[in-house]
Structure 1
Amino acid sequence: MNWIETHEAGFRLGLFVLVLVIMLVAEWQWPKRQLTRTRRERWRGNIALTAFNTLTLRLLAPLSAVGVASLVDKSGWGLLNQLSLPLWATVVLTLIVMDLAIWYQHKLFHELPWLWRLHLVHHADMDIDVTTGARFHTVEIWLSMAIKCALVALLGAPVLGVILFETVLSSMAMFNHSNVRLPLRLDDWLRRIVVTPDMHRVHHSTRFHECNANYGFNLSCWDRWFNTYVAQPRKGHQGMRIGLNEVAQANDASRIIGMLRLPLRWRILQRAYQHDKER
């Protein structure tokens, strides 16, 4: 067992705080867009929802993805445990396969109405910044964890690979949701490999074609290979509208109670489903 596995909690928390601080400073120094709501108004709800989700998972979830990986390692279950591969190879395969799975999961949450009603909580944020990266409905968080646990068991993913994947996923979510202005050349170079803030911002557009594109959180190749890549918003990053046209009330978009009950708002759901988005 290596140092990362032994100090998993400290390793993940330390990198989370480090990336969060870096992105907060970058947003303050080099903002891409002027926010339509105050940080205090939005952050209060986004951070409260994130804390609530983390608490429920810690207290109520029987196993985390890392816990399943540990169980799989001891029992010898899963595909990778049937192959004679070095640890580095199984870690790399885990990072790639799980990233593709998260990409496809994200796509399904847009295509299936019963999943979209949960995922629209993420898209109801009328601005996008580092806190948006962790703003998800509690039920979606639970479903996502269940999917990851099942994938880890089927794949036979090593503990180290799962820890690194979870760490990279949370870090990249903060990075590509951040309201940071990257130099165009740097953005162009980075998005050949990973999802940049400008690339993912397109996904939060109110336009149908743009919202249903750029599903990736980490590797950018999946959207290119599966024809869901949109390079830039039609109206530009300053002119594009972010969020859902149907959700404009602070109670629904910025407060935890409103966000948690949003999937039950039938009239909003009927209007906010994909086919009624701005085209």
Structure 2
Amino acid sequence: MDDASWLRLTGFIAIFAIMAALEIFWPARKSPLSRWLRWRPNLLMVVLGALTARVLLPATLLGVALMAEERGWGLFHYVSWPLWLEIVLSVLWLDLFIYWQHRLFHRIPWLWRIHKMHHADSHIDVTTGLRFHPAEIAISLLVKALAIFIAGAPAVAVVIFEIALNGFSLFNHTNIRLPQHIDDVLGCFIITQRLHRIHHSQYKSETDTNFGFSVSWWDRLFKSFKSRAAQSDEKLEVGQKAYPPTKKNNSVLRLLTLPLDSPTAVNPKPEDDNATGDFRK
């Protein structure tokens, strides 16, 4: 394992441990299932995702960046800008790419079938930030590789982005609640836990908002930001109604086969509980 991989792994373990400890001692919401029933399949998704990435792209994204640098591919190889500026712009570029990737996973029906495994979690905690279908991991890996090739992103920018992306995913899924005044201030810059729980709402008008994993700028810029849900954070209905919190719905096999299910119908907005609409058919 190279130095960059060790750095990423160390950062991941440290952030996971801190966030897990915070939500154990100061939980915002109570899970309908035991931690064992939810954590086991969610953490196994990390292993399957890592294996998928290793098979699909053995060189890793860092290797993609080094290849682009060696062959002079990408826009930054045609300009003479300071390295620090290229790093900053590359991280922003990659984050913007992931924002739009996330929106498309909600917008395009076959992509939603894959992504809804993440949204089918009946409770949002630090392990939800790791619960992605291996097929989504594969698609995301190719998307990020494309973004790196287009920009010619420096290798150090790719390492920084990968650590930040993993860290923010753990952070904003953590089951804690910040004081509202602090949450509102931080929400001007980043996606907080409360803001991301709105994204995990059972209602389309709310789940199709707050797509950012890190900064809230993209959602504000592209008109997908929502600062408040119709329900309070304490009562917000999260997950997918078609997948109630049962042991069966949280088995590894069930999670892997979930994209094969037919499209589900959900309420288009929380204030109209009796009206249903076809969702991403």
Q: TM-score range by the shorter chain?
A: over 0.9
C-alpha RMSD of matched pairs (Å): 1.8
Distance of 1:140 and 1:80 partners within structure 2: 28
Q: Which residue of 1 aligns with 2:216?
A: 220
Letter in 2 for 1:165: F
Summarize the alignment of residues 1-279 of structure 1 with structure 2, pairs less than 5 Å apart.
7-248=3-244, 250=246, 253-266=249-262, 269-271=263-265, 275-276=277-278
Tell me if structure 2 keeps the 8 A contact 1:127–1:242.
Answer: yes
SS at match of 1:188: helix
Q: How many residues align?
A: 271
Distance of 1:238 and 1:42 partners within structure 2: 20
Tell me if structure 2 keeps the 8 A contact 1:252–1:262.
Answer: no
Cα deviation, 1:155-196, whole Å, max 9, x if unaligned, reads 100000001001000000000011012122221221111111
Distance of 1:179 and 1:249 partners within structure 2: 17
SS at match of 2:161: helix
Distance of 1:146 and 1:241 partners within structure 2: 33
Distance of 1:60 and 1:47 partners within structure 2: 20
Tell me if structure 2 keeps the 8 A contact 1:45–1:254.
Answer: yes
Q: Identify, as 1 or 2, the structure richer in helix.
A: 1
Distance of 1:15 and 1:255 partners within structure 2: 28
Unmatched tracts of structure 1, length 5 or more: 1-5
- Same amino acid, percent of matched pairs: 37
TM-score, scaled to structure 1:
0.93
Distance of 1:250 and 1:157 partners within structure 2: 44
Kindly tell me: are residues 252 and 101 of structure 1, through their superposed partners in 2, closer, same or farther at Cα, counting changes over 3 Å? Answer: farther
Tell me if structure 2 keeps the 8 A contact 1:24–1:130.
Answer: yes
TM-score, scaled to structure 2:
0.92
Q: Which moved more, 1:63-72 or 1:38-47?
A: 63-72
Q: Shift of residue 64 of structure 1?
A: 2.2
Distance of 1:252 and 1:170 partners within structure 2: 28
Q: Which residue of 1 aligns with 2:272?
A: none
Distance of 1:231 and 1:246 partners within structure 2: 26
Tell me if structure 1 keeps the 8 A contact 2:204–2:267.
Answer: no
Unmatched tracts of structure 2, length 5 or more: 269-276
